[in-house]
Amino acid sequence: MLFQSLECSFSCKSATLGLRIQRAMSSVNIPPPECMLRPLEVPYRYLFGPGPSNVPPRILAAGARPIIGHLHTEMYEIMNDIKRGIQYAFQTNNHMTLAMSGSGHTAMECAVFNTVEPGESVLVSINGVWGERVAEIAERMGAKVHTMVKSPGGYFTTEEIEKALAKHKPVLFFLTHGESSAGLAHPVDNVGDLCLRHNCLFLVDSVASLGASPLLMDQQKIDILYTGSQKALNAPPGTAPISFNERACHKMFNRKIKPVSYLLDMTHLSNYWVRMHVLYHHTGPVSGFFALRESLAILAEKGLENSWRQHREVAEYLWKGIEDLGLKLFIKDKDLRLPSVTTIAIPDGYDWKELLAYMMKHHQVEMTGGLGPSIGMVIRVGLMGYNCSKFNADKALTALADALKHCPKRRG
């Protein structure tokens, strides 16, 4: 009797569950999209723009390795390798060195959110798009933002910087080392000394320049430095190395209020990356870290000085080829040109969008126009890391010459 009662109860529950499943299934009225029933297709392109750059097979293979848990012992060993690789690439002994889970923008926001509190003064140098972004980020989180502004390609003298530091008394000064929107490598020497003298942290963006143009974090007294994975490092986009020195750590770990972002709070990230406590904060991009680790290994094997030399030699080869085509380089001073991203002044009479479209269609070559304030002023050619060779420079020059020949040139 009891068995029959239990059997009946089970049958009723099964029937009810079946009805629920049927009802749920009948409520699915959006069919699978046709695009998702086809295999993924991705064309091969020569990525000769400002990034991302083509990823070498060795790094692609690293990213394709089997997934492991983000808190596994082996993952922490890989993260420690990444930390050591970043310390070499940045030329720093900073203990607080890690890779953000996200693009260079993530590192940019992390730096500002953790070292600046609402109401504090921030000084931002703007000579392209990246200074504009930092100014907006600082403004959004309540800082008092002061700017030094020059047109794309302009640079700031140490006298101008010191005058602004004395006037605005900021807690943080931002400078872009590799301004990819204009193709400028900004001088960094002596700026760290100025910031130290004015009790101000020195924040530097090296997303487009790291590995391509000399930068020495400790020697140049940079307090916070960040970069991206997808430029000269040649890893896929999605991870962003960053480092804080002791001065920066003292400021960000002695705040009155918590940072506006939980995800980017260095109190938690330092436990995850530096102290390596097995405490869950977020799930890091495991495959992205595999790829970043391999890209840093390639840089270590090549050697920083060799990488800087290679980028400079290929850039000079490219610059001569551009001038031989009758084109003008946007940055006049050779010493201020960014080796990884060359900017060409848009030639008179041409529609720059037509030139770019022609090269993509007929040569599978990507170059780009300007960004932010440099839109309509330049064409940008990037030869970084794996793409940095005279062979690729010739390929870029051939595509440019063909586009100039076949795209219509308008008068006046």
CB atoms within 10 A of CB 330: 22
pLDDT at 9: 56
Q: Please write the tens of the pLDDT for every residue from 313-343.
A: 999 999 999 999 999 999 999 999 999 999 9
Burial degree of 261 (CB within 10 A; 0-12, 13-18, 19+): middle
User: Which amino acid appears at position 112 of this protein?
Assistant: V
Q: Are residues 85 and 163 in the same domain?
A: yes
Within a domain: 6: no
- Residue 71 gets which letter from DSSP? T
Instruction: For residue 214, give Cα distances in angstroms to 89, 125, 311.
Output: 10, 20, 10
Average pLDDT over residues 148-176: 97
Q: Among 282, 301, 320, which residue terminates a domain? A: 301
Within a domain: 22: no
pLDDT grade for 4, boundaries at 50, 70 and 90: low
Within a domain: 37: no
Q: What is the mean pLDDT of the chain?
A: 93
Residues at the binding site for substrate are 380
Q: Are residues 255 and 162 in the same domain?
A: yes
Q: Are residues 353 and 229 in the same domain?
A: no
pLDDT at 272: 86
Q: Are residues 225 and 348 in the same domain?
A: no
340: CATH: 3.90.1150.10
Q: Are residues 286 and 367 in the same domain?
A: no
Within a domain: 186: yes
pLDDT at 410: 83
Q: Please write the tens of the pLDDT for every residue from 290-304.
A: 999 999 999 999 999
Coil, helix or strand for 122? Answer: strand
pLDDT at 233: 95
Judge whether residue 365 has pLDDT over 60. yes
Q: Please write the tens of the pLDDT for every residue from 111-120.
A: 999 999 999 9
Measured distance CA(213)–CA(113) in Å, rounded: 27
Dmax (CA) of the chain: 99
Q: Are residues 116 and 216 in the same domain?
A: yes
Within a domain: 103: yes
Q: Among 301, 327, 357, which residue terminates a domain? A: 301
Q: Please write the tens of the pLDDT for every residue from 226-249.
A: 999 999 999 999 999 999 999 999
Q: Are residues 74 and 189 in the same domain?
A: yes
Judge whether residue 223 has pLDDT over 60. yes
Average pLDDT over residues 391-405: 98
**Would you put residue 202 in left (φ > 0), alpha (ψ -120 to 50) or beta?**
beta
> Cβ(126)–Cβ(149) under 8 Å?
yes
**Would you put residue 240 in left (φ > 0), alpha (ψ -120 to 50) or beta?**
beta
Percent of the chain at pLDDT above 70?
Answer: 92
For the chain, how big is the Rg over CA atoms in Å?
25
pLDDT grade for 274, boundaries at 50, 70 and 90: confident
pLDDT grade for 2, boundaries at 50, 70 and 90: very low
Q: Are residues 233 and 330 in the same domain?
A: no
Judge whether residue 183 has pLDDT over 90. yes
pLDDT at 79: 95
Coil, helix or strand for 145? Answer: strand
User: Which amino acid appears at position 280 of this protein?
Assistant: Y
pLDDT at 277: 66
Q: Are residues 248 and 321 in the same domain?
A: no
Q: Are residues 149 and 133 in the same domain?
A: yes
Q: Are residues 121 and 238 in the same domain?
A: yes
pLDDT at 409: 86
The lowest-confidence range among 16-25, 105-114, 326-335, 381-390 is: 16-25
pLDDT at 6: 46
Name the residue range of residue 382's domain: 303-406
User: Of 406, 383, 407, 408, which Cα lies nearest the Cα of 396?
Assistant: 383
Q: DSSP string of 302-370?
A: H-HHHHHHHHHHHHHHHHHHHHHTT--BS---GGGB-SSEEEEEPPTT--HHHHHHHHHHHH-EE-EE-
Judge whether residue 11 has pLDDT over 80. no
**Would you put residue 387 in left (φ > 0), alpha (ψ -120 to 50) or beta?**
alpha
Q: Please write the tens of the pLDDT for every residue from 81-90.
A: 999 999 999 9
Q: Please write the tens of the pLDDT for every residue from 37-78.
A: 999 999 999 999 999 999 999 999 999 999 999 889 899 999
pLDDT grade for 36, boundaries at 50, 70 and 90: very high
Within a domain: 411: no
User: Of 209, 34, 19, which Cα lies nearest the Cα of 130?
Assistant: 209
Q: Among 244, 274, 301, which residue terminates a domain? A: 301
Q: % helix / strand / coil in the chain, to the nearest 5?
A: 45, 15, 40
Q: Show the tokens assigned to 264.
A: 């980017």
Percent of the chain at pLDDT above 90?
Answer: 88
Within a domain: 14: no
Tally of domains within the chain: 2
Residues at the binding site are 380
Within a domain: 322: yes
Instruction: For residue 50, give Cα distances in angstroms to 1, 55, 96, 117, 151.
Output: 78, 14, 29, 33, 19
Average pLDDT over residues 372-399: 97
Q: Are residues 187 and 310 in the same domain?
A: no
